[in-house]
Amino acid sequence: MDPGLLGVLLAQTIASGGNGQFLLNGVPLQQVTAQLVTFVGDCPGDGQDLINGTSFLTPVAPAPYQRIVITNTGTGGYTDREYDERRPSAEPFSMGLANGHHGSFLSLSEGPNAFTYVVRNRISNTELRQGNAALMVTVNRSIRNRSFSQIKEERYCLGDRSSRYGKLDQCSDGLITVERIGVCPNGASRTLSLETVRLRRS
């Protein structure tokens, strides 16, 4: 972040009486749009695109040994980030729509969101500053087609799926199952077909 912009943002947060400021890629953020997706096609389901590159700034400038905890008072979600001299604002984090706490992102709800923050020295555990912040969240809903990322084939003895890791020529009756499986980008899988065939023995 440009040092001049950092100085302006610090002055604004100090003038706000302790309110914190969300940043997105270094730019002040008062409103954000969450992207909800309904997937159709081979791999139906729901998902969202997380809002990445978010940070936070308070009237207390980043300094050695500091950490900041930002809590969404509505969802109960929080994030505990470094707030030290190695960067101009809090350690970046992601945000997304959810209820409760999620370890991988700060949870949001549609509409006005209220937050509290606490800055501490992690060595002495001294509280340096606490305050509030706000963010308006709108939601954009879209529909996308999601196809299989891979179609694989597994072969195993009839009635014994665990044998797919063994030697098929040891199947007692010489019958095997050939299973075609579609694998989705999120790792979910679905059986496409099952076929029973007899092994040709030499």
Supply the CATH number for residue 127's domain: 2.60.40
Same domain, 60 and 120: yes
For residue 191, the model assigns a pLDDT of 95
For the chain, the domain total comes to: 2
Same domain, 140 and 170: no
Same domain, 131 and 161: no
| pTM for this model (two decimals) | 0.74
Same domain, 54 and 84: yes
For residue 20, the model assigns a pLDDT of 95
Residue 195's Cβ-count burial label (10 Å; 0-12, 13-18, 19+) is exposed
Same domain, 11 and 72: yes
State both tokens at 70: 């930002």
Same domain, 8 and 95: yes
Same domain, 125 and 179: no
* 93 Cβ contact partners less than 8 Å away, ≥ 6 residues apart: 54, 55, 79, 81, 105, 106
CA–CA gap between residue 57 and residue 61 (Å, rounded): 7
Contact between residue 78 and residue 68 where contact means Cβ atoms under 8 Å apart: no
* End-of-domain residue from the set 145, 164, 182: 145
CA–CA gap between residue 115 and residue 74 (Å, rounded): 8
The tens place of each residue's pLDDT in the chain, 202 residues long, gives: 444 544 454 445 444 555 899 999 999 999 999 999 999 999 999 999 999 999 999 999 999 999 999 999 999 999 999 999 999 999 999 999 999 998 889 999 999 999 999 999 999 999 999 999 999 999 999 999 999 999 999 988 888 887 776 777 778 788 889 999 999 999 999 999 999 998 876 5
DSSP run (H or E) holding 13: helix 3-15
Same domain, 28 and 89: yes
Residue span of the structural domain in which 64 resides: 3-145
For residue 103, the model assigns a pLDDT of 86
State both tokens at 173: 């009756």
